[in-house]
Amino acid sequence: MLLDPHRVQITGPSKLKAAQVMCPAALRAGMVMLIAMLAAEGESVLRDIYMINRGYEDLPGRLKKLGVKISHLKTKRIDDADNEKKELEKWS
């Protein structure tokens, strides 16, 4: 439920599940997604984290100091939809 342009009301709790998702193009939205993944049970993958890397220096290192198990994976880009579907099926 939208309260005003700067706040939202969330009724919970909702269990978050691990997922593999594309990072939003906006820095704040990407960080919200990352924080949600940290709260979720299981191992999540956040792809295309260019904006987060650009906005926060050594974020994985800083999160590790807080006890977060995080790693920065180098992967090749998947250009065609069929290959992407096959790659995502591996994670299911």
pTM: 0.66
pLDDT at 5: 76
- Please answer whether residues 51 and 23 qualify as being in contact, where contact means their C-beta atoms are separated by less than 8 angstroms: yes
- Cα separation, 49 vs 59, whole angstroms: 11
Q: Note the pLDDT tens digit of each residue in 6-22.
A: 777 778 788 889 999 99
The per-residue pLDDT of the chain, averaged, comes to: 81
Helix (H, G, I), strand (E, B) or coil at 82: helix
